[in-house]
A and B are shown apart, each in its own frame.
Chain A
Amino acid sequence: MTDKAQAQTVLRLSHITKRFGALTANDDVSFELKRGEVIALLGENGAGKTTLMNILFGQYTADAGEVEVFGQVLPPGNPRAALDAGVGMVHQHFTLAGNLTVWENIVLGTQALGALRLDAKAARAKIKALSTRFHLAVDPEAKVGRLSVGERQRVEILKALYREARILILDEPTAVLTPQESDALFATLREAVGQGLSVVFISHKLHEVMAISDRTVVLRHGKLVAEHATAETSREELAALMVGGEVSAPKIEAMPPGPALMRLSGVSTRGEGRAPGLHAADLTLHAGQISGLAGVSGNGQKALSDLISGLAHPVAGSFEIAGEPVADWSPRRALARRIGRIPEDRHHTGTIADFDLTENAVLETYASDFARHGWMDWKGARAQAEGLIATYDVRCPGPDTRIRLLSGGNMQKLILGRVLETAPRIILANQPVRGLDIGAVNYVHGRLAEAREKGAAVLLISEDLDEIMKLSDVIHVISEGRLSPGFARGTMRAEELGQWMAGEGFAPLTEAAHAS
């Protein structure tokens, strides 16, 4: 690895161009990958990273340009040829069959379809050897449907290694992993590179790019805008290259809090399966304030957001909105009380994937604002969608596009617009920037800060402590359904919040609290 300059070129992309209708997803992109090298392919959502890799892997056919692997030009549009040439791809959305076992998934397609017997024994032995060699612990006999996300990813990597892949492409591999799983993945990748494999690592997380890659290739709007040795660049430079300009995070100016808009005192809710309910939670949301809720995922964040959005009811304590006790609570009433919701899962609860932008734009208001005498006012709805697209910079072909075709960032902008256009008094922002690139993150944060200035009370739920500390006027920590007192901005260091997140500082849970 010392003399990379002389190392063999294993992969060469030359002048790749790919158009989808009017959109140019890749515009004359060329780069090379050397043996034993990790290249980070960096870019915002929609910059063309995944398209480029799908061309390399033969799932799309390029309009121009060619792919060369170990000196051989790959026939376009043929995944089989890419596999045979030694290219293995770990897709962002796993391609595994849940009802098959781990070894069956790995072996699939590697033995001739005409063969009379599936050679299971040899396959198992080879998988065992590979898992030991690359520290990819997974039980070959387990059904894939029962595995955790981290384990599934290991199966995907094993699939590639089983086929003797010499080049590994990983598309946003850490998006679904916990920090510990990401560390384990990096260890595996270093092991693989040490044994002569080459890796293309697609990401938009700068700290990962800095940690794992030798070289960084930056894509923006389908064009290759920069190529740097990672050691000679910086996070700031890469961020600027990615978005095409200086990155400016929104500033939160101090301002006096307004009246209390929502008050929970001693509120408990029922848990749901393994997810805890709230235990005697006290929380006050003030107008013109962002309250951040920090905590390790699965500690009652869902219980709190369900309560506020009307999906759950308190079983004890008092719950007031604007001074009035809440009765007959439901999502519809939550909307009537002008609570705007940015749900945690934008794909499943935030939008309806196969509905178009117009329909998704009026999901919450179609009955009240876009219906007359029981008939839908599609003209008005479409105008509303067009307005949101323009105001909130939703990049899309038009209001008739099915929303599933949008990138996460653009989907989130539409949801954000849908919420903010109703001028909500209280905004429940649950993981509002998860999976988004820097540009979209700053956009969403900026809009939330703006809503705060206009006097909305914002509850920001996030697992990212940096995000919480950057935006919040007051920080609460949630642990096992218990809420910490509010800590004013700047009074707590991250380490201290981390201790609360680990459950220190709370009154011990009593049996009575559990029973409620």
Chain B
Amino acid sequence: MDIFEILTSAAFWAAAIRIASPLIFATMGELICERAGVLNLGIEGIMVAGAFAGWIAVWAGLPLWGGVAVAFVTGMAFGLLHGIFSVPFGLSQHVVGIGVTLLATSLTFYTYRVVLPEVSSPPKITAFQPVEIPLLSKIPLIGPALFNQTPLTYAAFILVGLVALVLYRTPLGLAVRAAGESPSAVAAQGLSVTAIRMGAVIVGSGFMAVGGAFLTLSAFDSFFFDMVNGRGWICIALVVFGAWKPGKALLGAILFAAFDALQIRLQQTTIGAVVPYQLFLMLPYILSILALVLMSRRAEVPAALMVPFNKGER
């Protein structure tokens, strides 16, 4: 199988879209936070917590969508924690974010051991199954790649459209964008910067957790300690890659996922027999860095990103 064959196979693109889905959720979550002016480095830990919370809820008997909801609420709880420290208290967003990541990760592992003290391998659940969309799935190449996915993948794509709509077409979205650019302008118009930023961090964190839950409820059917594996950090880069715009961030997520799907397949080609597989593992990251450098040079960073807003200070 050569590269051309891989790139024109529907199975490859289906895999890319599947791998992209959790990234899309979490990237949208991060994008919402950053557009409001808060860098949320809690993303990695929140994804771990979401993966676990969604999975354990379903294992305990909730329906799959119930698991998604539990993950979302779990993410919002960590978002609230992040928000309290980073918004009204105005602490360093780096420190708060890393703290949240460490806390959420450790708390997840602790809870896992408390709930399942005796098991050596985690129990399995029945995960989301692919749902074929009539007619659309019959389109060559695109059909099987895009329209034979799990409902959670469809939700990820719908979310991108929703985030774009809200950001650019509603008064709320305008307020969020303004809060990330010039909080004093928001305050001068009689709106509460604190409320807007808190809301963005809480909701954004919820989506990050759903991104984590995709791994346990859709991509796999169980929970492992290292399953998030740096995806959160990738999403931070994807927001930059997407120049803080939902559509471009979506493209970035698919691009990264495609590289990831490609490297797995390249390992099985004739080149893979001679080149150490670690080089293939590096491929998506190297190509992402290159793309990031090329794409984000002229990006407009939200001017007040990482700048706490204190009313009354001059």
A96 touches B182 (CB 8 A): yes
In the complex, which residues 66-96 of chain A have their Cβ closer than 8 Å to any Cβ of chain B?
A: 79-80, 82-84, 89, 91, 93, 95-96
1/0 per residue B287-314: CB within 8 Å of A? 0000000000000101100000001101
CB-CB contacts below 8 Å: B186-204 with A: 186-191
Q: Is the CB of A98 within 8 A of B188?
A: no
Inter-subunit contact A118/B171 (CB<8 Å): yes
For A93, the closest partner residue in chain B by CB is: B184
Cβ contacts under 8 Å, A273 to chain B: none
Within 8 A of A (CB), among B245-285: none
Q: Is A108 a contact partner of B312 (Cβ separation < 8 A)?
A: no
Find A108's partner among B178, B302, B311 (CB 8 Å cutoff).
B178
Please give, as numbers and ranges, the residues of chain A lying within 8 Å of B107 by CB-CB distance.
Answer: none
**Nearest B residue to A104 by beta-carbon distance?**
B174
> Which residues from chain B contact A115 at a C-beta distance below 8 Å?
170-172
Instruction: Give the chain A neighbours of B181 by CB distance below 8 A.
Output: 97-100
Given A59-B312, A107-B171, residue A79 in contact with residue B178 (CB < 8 A): no
Q: Which of B181, B187, B303 gathers the greatest number of chain A CB atoms within 10 Å?
A: B181
Does B11 have its Cβ within 8 Å of any Cβ on chain A?
no
Cβ of B170 and Cβ of A117 under 8 Å apart?
A: yes
Query: CB distance A405 to B314 under 8 Å?
Result: yes
Chain B residue with the shortest CB-CB distance to A83: B190
Most A CB within 10 A of own CB, among B170, B300, B311? B170
Size category of the B interface is 20 to 34
Segment 131-189 of B: residues with Cβ below 8 Å from A: 169-175, 177-178, 181-182, 184-189
Contacts of A22 in B (CB 8 A): none
- Known contacts A91-B188, A108-B185, A109-B186, A98 near B170 by CB under 8 Å: no
Residue of A nearest to B189 (CB): A109
**A423 → B minimal CB distance (Å):** 35
Instruction: Find out whether the CB atom of B190 lies under 8 angstroms from the CB atom of A79.
Output: yes
Instruction: Give the docked Cα–Cα distance between A79 and B184 (Å).
Output: 12
Pairwise interchain contact B303-A108, C-beta atoms closer than 8 A: no
Docked Cα-Cα span, A168 to B98, in Å, equals 46
In the assembled complex, the Cα of A114 lies from the Cα of B177 at a distance in Å of 15
With A and B bound together, what is the CA distance between A490 and B49 in angstroms? 80
Q: Is A484 an interface residue (CB 8 A)?
A: no
Task: List 15 A-B pairs, Cβ < 8 Å.
Answer: A79-B188, A80-B190, A91-B188, A97-B303, A99-B177, A99-B303, A100-B178, A108-B189, A109-B171, A111-B171, A113-B171, A113-B172, A115-B172, A116-B170, A117-B169
Kindly list the 3 A-B residue pairs having the minimum CB-CB distance in the complex, ordered from nearest: A109-B189, A80-B190, A97-B181
New contact pairs (19) apart from A97-B182, A115-B172, A118-B170, CB-CB < 8 Å? A80-B190, A95-B188, A96-B182, A97-B181, A97-B185, A97-B303, A98-B181, A100-B177, A105-B178, A107-B171, A108-B174, A111-B171, A113-B171, A113-B175, A115-B171, A118-B169, A159-B189, A404-B314, A405-B314
